[in-house]
Amino acid sequence: MKSVATLSELPPTASLRPGLTQFAVDPGKSGGIAVRYPGDNVLAFKMPPTEGDLRDLFVRLYNPDNPTVAYVEKVGGYIGGPGAPGSAMFNFGRNHGFTLGLLSALYIRTELITPQQWQKRLSLGTSKGMKPTEWKNKLKAEAQRRFPDMKVTLYTADALLILEATK
């Protein structure tokens, strides 16, 4: 397992071993993508800044010869809480929908998973009584514990934990 900063650091797709490939996606601008290749080789990326960059990342990570499944976090209607501006919620929904459409266009089987589902599978408890920053730091620390050889960030922590919960 290692952290990869750019697409040029990725191994050639043809060199990947046959077997199941798993993606985990924490959608949104502050989210991330994690991928597990056969042999438990795990990579994680900050969510790319543009739709074209996201497309390029998935095309580069995806090996059409391997069975593949993507687990995408199922999002609620409120991003940033009930007082968030409608434009923020619209943009988030647009990004989420683009991600789902992109995965579909690549013929990648996609399953939605709620935060409650993946957090329960990992016995993480709930954020009740915690400030949002405290909860996010707890999740980051848990991801770092589970992936000690990787540089886990707030961007990639949830995607890595979703990947672990769907193992």
Kindly state the percentage of the chain with pLDDT values over 90. Answer: 59
Answer whether 28's CB lies under 8 Å from 162's CB. Answer: no
pLDDT in tens, 8-37: 666 666 446 788 999 999 998 889 999 999
Do you know the residue count of the chain? Answer: 167
What is the residue extent of each domain of the chain?
7-165
CA 99 vs. chain centroid, Å, equals: 11
For the entire predicted model, the pTM comes to 0.86
CATH of domain 7-165: 3.30.420.10
Contacts of 18 (CB under 8 A, 6+ apart): 38, 65, 66
Answer whether 4's CB lies under 8 Å from 10's CB. Answer: yes
Q: Measured at the alpha carbon of residue 57, what is the angle toward residues 52 and 60, in degrees to the nearest 5?
A: 125
Radius of gyration, CA atoms only, the chain:
15
pLDDT in tens, 128-156: 999 999 999 999 999 999 999 999 999 99
- Indicate the burial class of 137 (C-beta count within 10 angstroms; 0-12, 13-18, 19 or more): middle
Kindly state the percentage of the chain with pLDDT values over 70. Answer: 79
Q: Measured at the alpha carbon of residue 48, what is the angle toward residues 89 and 86, in degrees to the nearest 5?
A: 10
Contacts of 30 (CB under 8 A, 6+ apart): 47, 154, 155
pLDDT, averaged across the chain: 86
Nearest to 74, CA basis, from 45, 114, 103, 44? 114
pLDDT in tens, 105-124: 999 999 999 999 999 999 99
142 backbone dihedrals φ, ψ, rounded to 5°: -65, -40
pLDDT in tens, 37-89: 988 889 999 999 999 999 999 988 888 888 999 999 997 655 555 566 665 56
Answer whether 36's CB lies under 8 Å from 21's CB. Answer: yes
Residue type, 70: A
